[in-house]
Every structure is written in C-alpha cells, then in structure tokens.
Amino acid sequence: MEELRKGIPLIGEKIPSLFVQTTHGMKKIPEDYQGKWIVLFSHPADFTPVCTTEFIAFAKRNNEFEKLNAQLIGLSIDQVFSHIKWVEWIKENIGIEIPFPIIADDMGKVATAFGMVHPEKGTNTVRAVFIIDPNATIRLMIYYPQEVGRQIDEVLRALKALQVADLNKVALPENWPNNELIQDKVIIPPPKDILEAEKRKKVAEGYDWWFTYKSL
C-alpha cells in the first residue's frame, strides 16, 4: 500500500490505492471494484451493540445498494479473526448473514489516513461513511460519534441522490425525494447571465429565477 497522508480527506479528492485484508480475502481498493460506487464505512469495534445493529441494517439493505451498482465495505481496527467470529455470531444469534467484506485495519493505517480514529477513544474508529464514485473520487462523508448509531436509509438515499444529480446535472432538495416544499422534483442549476435569468422566470416552474425546479 502506498504511503498515506493523515487526517480527514476532502470531498472531491481521489482515494489512494489500498491493499487490505478483509473477511473476503485480500482486496485492492478501488481497483477490485472498478466501475462501481463504494460505500466505505467504519465502526468502533466488533462485538459492540450499536455496531451490531448497524451491520444488520446494512446487510438487510445490501441488495438495494447492489441495485445502485454500489459495494459496501466495512472497516475497524480489529484483526480479521475478530471480524470472522463476529460475522459468525451475528448469523448464529440474529439470523442475518453479512454479505459484504470487512477490512481488518489492525495497524490503523487506513483509519488514520481517512481521519476515522476517534481522538478521545484510543484506537477505536468513529462511525464514518465515505461514498466513493466509480472514478475513485470521494463524493460524500458523514461522521458520527461512538454513542450515536447511523441511519442506514439516509446513506442509501444520499447515494441515490448523488447518482440522480450526476445523471441529470441537477441538485436535490432537503430529504429528496420527499421534500416538504417541492416533493420529488429536482432543482435546476442557476442561470449564468441576465438574459437566461429573465427567460427562466417566464418558462420554468419555481419561486424566482434562482430557485426553479422540474420533474424528472
């Protein structure tokens, strides 16, 4: 694995090539998932209650992520043996199979490079989520403290929104597609000159030339 810088990366940065041990064997990220979106998420530790609830929720929605051409990948600073035993425990005791790989970042290199290490919790990682596009570019980041579990449907919604925005060159409102103001409509990019602004007032649906929207 190439040398990684430390600290939280920026939206728009490309992720480095990562050669990692996972519960599905050695993987090279993003190369082994070429052409796919990647949802990389960290959890504080195996065999913890909040993390267990999150992994079950991710597993139950795995097919929905796959339909969006996305690969879920978990991570924590635990050894692969711990990951394997935890996955077995979840299947045996909860009846849920974890279908996605989990990175065993026991040296903490990946977590440190992505700013996942909790500053006050030793080697535990925060609950971070990175949505990475097929060009290996970070498109979204969400960080949670250890005490608050994630809302997995929001991760799924954000992935859908990014894909719709990319495909249609639009922006998406709060809580799309269930926005209180414009429902499932999408926001048209603002005009770039006065003439276009005047035209936009007359032909586009919206509140003003800078706030117009349409149905897809």
Dump pLDDT digits (tens) for 25-64: 999 999 999 999 999 999 999 999 999 999 999 999 999 9
Q: Over the range 12-48, which residues count as b (16 or more CB within 10 Å of their CB) and which as e?
A: eeebbebebbbbeeebebbebbeebbbbbbbbbbbee
Q: Which residues are catalytic?
A: 51
- Would you say 101 and 107 are in contact if contact means Cβ atoms under 8 Å apart? no
DSSP assignment of 23-65 equals: TTEEEEETGGGTTSEEEEEE-S-SS-HHHHHHHHHHHHTHHHH
- Chain-centroid distance, C-alpha 138: 9
Share of the chain above pLDDT 70, in %: 95
Given a cut of 50, whether residue 1 has pLDDT beyond it is no
Asked whether the predicted pLDDT for residue 191 surpasses 70, the reply is yes
Helices 152-168, 49-60: inter-axial angle, 10-degree rounding: 40
Above 70 in pLDDT, residue 166?
Answer: yes
Residue 114's closest CA among 78, 82, 141, 133? 141
Q: What is the pLDDT of residue 7?
A: 75
Domains along the chain with CATH numbers = 18-150 (3.40.30.10), 169-216 (3.30.1020.10)
Q: pTM of the full predicted structure?
A: 0.93
